[in-house]
Amino acid sequence: MYIIAERINGMFKDVKEAIRGRNAKVIQDLALRQQAAGAYALDVNVGPAVADAQSALLWLVETIRAVTDIPLAIDTAKWDVMKAVIPHVPGKKILNSTKADMDVATEYVGLAVEHGAALIGLTIDADGVPGNVEKRVELGAQLAAAAMDGGLALTDLFIDPIILPVNVSPKSPGHCLQAISQLRALSDPPPHLLLGLSNVSQRCSNRHLINRTYLAMCIAHGLDSAILDSLDTELVDSAITAELLNDKMIYCDSYLQAARPG
């Protein structure tokens, strides 16, 4: 499972304060701890911390790069910010994210190809988040088409079928499972299928339990990547075990240890 760790996000209080006070230690500590816990990449999101997202993102990138070469998922919804920041991210990077409208996706694909980056594409278009499976698959296929047209290998495309919180959108988890199955069959090798996992349990109790149960279900349907809290040991253990049960690795008594990178 290609885990993109979610904690470097200005929505969290410690990160928000660290960004405002330019406290590198807090960010670097989070980066290394998430990596050690099993992350393959780190999401980097300024959130609502400051007005100048661009310079804050650049500071975060520079701060993290001082301690690790792990791939960074540059997380901003603003095209101008993405375009300005990406050329200044050394090493491996992922653009997080584009929507599925063809004109928008084409621009993001171009930027990704230009800088040798991977790309996360959301199955959202101008009409918003789809309320069914079919539209999710249609928009996923549209993202794949944009990637192929623009010269981005499908193995560098992560399609996110968008999970909504189960308390307000009870059908969304089931829709995503089906969309994952169908989008896996899109090509060989298939694009990566990814979810922003924590969203499934927004404003719910038992969040950890909901997250790890749903993650295991998604893996059974072909999910191979997620943005999640890699510091949640039980969650990462569940992901590894679900992959084991889905024949993604050979069992051994220390399989939990064996499956973590590094």
Give me the residues that bind another protein (CB under 8 A), please: 249-254, 257-258
- Using the minimum distance from each CB to another protein, give the nearer residue, 205 or 257: 257
- Smallest separation, CB 155 to another protein (Å): 10
Nearer to another protein, 66 or 252 (CB): 252
**Minimum separation from the CB atom of position 250 to another protein (A):** 5
Phi (first) and psi of residue 38, to 5 degrees? 125, 10
Residues 66/49, Cβ–Cβ less than 8 Å:
no
Residue 119 contacts residue 156 (beta carbons within 8 Å): yes
Give the number of other Cβ atoms within 10 Å of residue 104's Cβ: 17
Q: From the CB of 254, what's the least distance to another protein, in Å?
A: 5
CB of 224 to another protein, least distance (A): 13
Nearest residue (CB) to another protein, 132 versus 155:
155
Amino acid (1-letter code) at residue 139: L
Tokens of 165: 């919180």
Nearer to another protein, 102 or 252 (CB): 252
Determine the Cα–Cα distance for residues 262 and 243; give it in Å rounded to an integer. Answer: 18
Half-sphere exposure for 61 (CA within 13 Å, toward CB): 23
Tell me whether residue 51 or residue 250 sits nearer to another protein (CB atom).
Answer: 250
Compute the distance between CA of residue 185 and CA of residue 94 in angstroms, rounded to an integer.
Answer: 23
Amino acid at 70: I
Smallest distance from another protein to CB 35, Å: 17
d(CA 192, CA 41): 14
Residue whose CB is less far from another protein, 24 or 148: 148
Q: Smallest distance from the beta carbon of 249 to another protein, in angstroms?
A: 7
- Residues 6+ away with beta carbon under 8 Å from 114: none
